[in-house]
Structure 1
């Protein structure tokens, strides 16, 4: 299994069990998330509640909750939304912090293509949700989520140059 860690914070943000599609010259990875129900366990003990005078919904409240698989799996923490000024400031700081950690050939591609990826994200800014890794470190990568037209499940966007592949 491959896990993708944030180069800046070390947080695990994604794995190969969630296929991604490269967009914006490979600068962004697009990953489809899914809403899933967690904790709902139905146990059939063979009793017939109506024959025993019980109600159909009698039993234990199993605290079933709906979660987004990627958010839950990687313990992503939602952050308040950014306005345009805050977002641009974040990207500038991100570029400054990430650049020294990239290999020369990756750095060239990063510098060449980050502007296009930034414009793409800015065009969706009002629709984006912002997530950080479990450690909640300010200087780490942000994972972006939004809902495509008519979609009921979120789509996640990752800044690919900030991810490091780790074999587990």
Structure 2
């Protein structure tokens, strides 16, 4: 199995257990078809002080497990939603674009430092590919949610983690999670 990690933070973001496909018109970007799944949240009855032996004939009834609907890849990699972007969206588009530009500059700087041995052509490709990806995100902004890796939820502001982009259909159902290949490293698990 292949595992894909954020090249800066090291967070697990994706694996080949999901069908990964290239995105037409977005070089070095891949997407994964996502779906809603139901997971049991479980109830720890001991937390409520239940004593089955003292409860009589309903002793084994217990509490019902709750079920919640989640997105498969978000649940599988414990990805964290980053809602600040949409909070900013409510203020002004200019501020949103400014924040995204600042974040990208910080992330690209860290990315380039980490991969300083990379050839000039790859660095130019990186800049071009990121520009295309961000144009796509801005165009689809009302149907996009951003996610970071499990440990990176609080580090996005300083640019020390990457983001992946979840798109929703017009009906509000999750469709695809988008990843920039430049932001991922591949390893065998």
TM-score normalized with structure 2 length = 0.71
- Counterpart of 2:179 in structure 1 is 158
What residue in structure 1 maps to residue 58 of structure 2? none
CA distance in 2, matches of 1:148, 1:20: 19
Give the aligned partner of residue 143 of structure 1.
164
When residues 93 and 69 of structure 1 are mapped into structure 2, their CA distance, relative to the original with a 3 A threshold, is same
Among 126, 134, 151, the alignment partner of 1:118 is 134
1:84-116: CA deviation from partner (whole Å, max 9, x where unpaired): 221121112121111233432533421333222
| Aligned 1:5-154 pairs, distance under 5 A | 5-23=5-23, 24-39=25-40, 60-82=63-85, 83-102=96-115, 103-104=118-119, 106-136=122-152, 137-138=155-156, 139-150=160-171, 152-154=173-175
User: 5+ residue gaps in structure 1?
Assistant: 42-57
Aligned residues: 152
Q: Tell me if structure 2 keeps the 8 A contact 1:14–1:70.
A: yes
Q: Post-superposition shift, 1:151? A: 6.4
Q: Is the 8 A contact 1:5 1:13 kept in 2?
A: yes
- In 2 relative to 1, CA 40–99 (structure 1 residues): closer, same or farther, beyond 3 Å? closer
Between stretches 3-12 and 81-90, larger displacement belongs to: 81-90
Q: Could you tell me how far apart the structure 2 residues matched to 1:37 and 1:29 are?
A: 25
Residues 1:88 and 1:142: Cα distance change in structure 2 (over 3 Å): same
Partners of 1:78 and 1:132 within 8 A in 2: yes
When you count helix as a share of all residues, which structure comes out higher? 2
State the superposition RMSD in angstroms: 2.2
